[in-house]
Amino acid sequence: MQEKFSQILLNAKQDVEKIDNSKDLYDLKTRYLGKNGEITALLRGMKDVAPEQRSAFGKMINDLKVEVEKTFDDKDQMLKQNELNQRLQNEAVDVTLPGNAPAMGSIHPLNIVKNKIINAFCGMGFEVFEGPEIDSDYYCFQALNIPKDHPARDMQDTFYITENFLLRPHTSPGQVRTMENKKPPIKILSPGRVYRADDDASHSPMFHQIEGLVVDKGVSLCDLKGLLDEFVRIIFDKDTKTRFRPSYFPFTEPSVEVDVSCCKCHGKGCNLCKGTGWIEILGAGVVNKKVLEMSGIDSNEYSGLAFGLGIERITMIKYGISNIKTLFESNINFLNQFNRR
Ligand code: PHE
């Protein structure tokens, strides 16, 4: 009998040896230890054994059962470990591989420059006010001392929508709208799109301006100079110089055009400044008393200064861009150059 048991154990060990997956091992285990298994059958045969041998026989079967179970358990452990190792190998991730960086957008150069300008003036106490892009003849012209049929209207090639409404040709209506709604002291910037029937390498029918307006007691051309000197040093560099040239705008008196020393040649003369050493950046002046009065501000008590600059122009000078159209073409290669600047 002992021999038979040893044979069963040996067979079980050999059978287990050949198994290479958990499922087959489970099936094999059922064949030995399941309800109808070989060892279960032996246990059932106990009843036919003579009573005096029963205990010894029982112990032998039990020992056999324990041994066979251990064989299966050991194999089961081994298979599970192998399967785990296999999975770890198959599903391994090389954390040292470089990741796939998602394409990052960037801020448009016009917005970069617009934000810089706004930041520069906000640091000097200015607030931002945005006016409408379609505005009336009154706000675009009449309230700025440009009466109907006045030749000064030819200074801008205007897009009219109706006889009385137009795409604003400048952000100066923002001056009037602010003065009508706010008591001095006033210190505002009015950025936004403007429209003119004008189209070449440095002009576009749609472009962006920022208007500045200061109204307070005792404001003078001298304050304008100080303000713009500081602005130019922030936007270009600290050595940039400004120059005022006499000019004419119906809504300022006196009026000036402001040049900066060329940021490319530092005043020596180059293709950017057309050999003059200076580049024009904006129009400005002391607010015409008539404009203050029309907007309900007492011109005996208060005075004002105003300036209007083109964001495209400053961007082109700052980054050396020769054609304004590149700013509107959505060319990714062009725009990517401004990443992280
Ligand atoms: N509105 C003028 C223009 O578009 C610029 C300007 C603004 C000039 C304010 C003087 C004062 O050309």
Q: Last residue of a domain, which of 59, 90, 121?
A: 90
- Contact (Cβ atoms closer than 8 angstroms) between residue 25 and residue 19: yes
Whether the model clears a pTM of 0.75, i.e. scores above it, the answer is no
Nearest-CA residue for atom 9 of ligand 1: 307
Closest approach atom of ligand 1 to CA 284 = 10
Query: What is residue 54's predicted lDDT score, i.e. its pLDDT?
Result: 85
Index of the ligand 1 atom closest to the CA of residue 283 = 8
Q: What is the mean pLDDT of residues 17-32?
A: 92
pLDDT reported for residue 340: 64
CA-to-CA separations, 133 to 111, 178, 192, in angstroms, rounded: 18, 15, 8
* Nearest atom of ligand 1 to the alpha carbon of 172: 1
pLDDT at 1: 73
Ligand 1 atom nearest 255 alpha carbon = 10
Which tops the pLDDT comparison, 221 or 237? 221
User: In angstroms, what is the span from residue 169 Cα to ligand 1's centroid?
Assistant: 10
pLDDT at res. 341: 45
Per the DSSP assignment, residues forming a β-bridge with 215 are: 186, 304
Q: By residue range, what is the domain housing residue 209?
A: 109-338
C-alpha–C-alpha distance, residues 146 and 219, integer Å: 23
Q: In terms of domains, do 24 and 167 share one? A: no
* Residue 108, pLDDT score: 94
Domain count, the chain: 2
Per-residue pLDDT, averaged over 169-189, amounts to 97
Residue-wise pLDDT tens digits, 257-279? 999 998 888 888 888 888 999 99
Residue 321 clears pLDDT 80, i.e. is over it: yes
Pick the last residue of a domain from 41, 63, 90: 90
CATH code of the domain in which 195 resides: 3.30.930.10
- On whether residue 100 sits in a domain, the answer given is no
* 103 found inside a domain: no
Q: What are phi and psi of 196, to 5 degrees?
A: -145, 145
Ligand 1 mean position to 146 CA, how many Å? 13
Instruction: Say if residue 162 is in the same domain as residue 70.
Output: no
179 and 60 in a common domain:
no
Per-residue pLDDT tens digits for 31-48 = 999 998 888 888 888 888
- Is the shortest distance between the CB of 176 and ligand 1 below 6 Å? no
Within this chain, do residues 313 and 187 fall inside the same structural domain, yes or no?
yes
Residue 95: inside a domain: no
How far is it, in rounded angstroms, from Cα 258 to Cα 228? Answer: 9
Q: Determine the pLDDT at residue 253.
A: 97
pLDDT in tens, 112-122: 999 999 999 99
Calculate the average pLDDT of the chain. 92
* Structure-token pair, residue 117: 């300008």
99 domain residue, yes or no: no
Nearest CA to ligand 1 atom 12: 283
Is there a domain that residue 190 lies in?
yes
| CA gap 289, 251 in Å, rounded | 8
What residue has token string 């950046």?
281
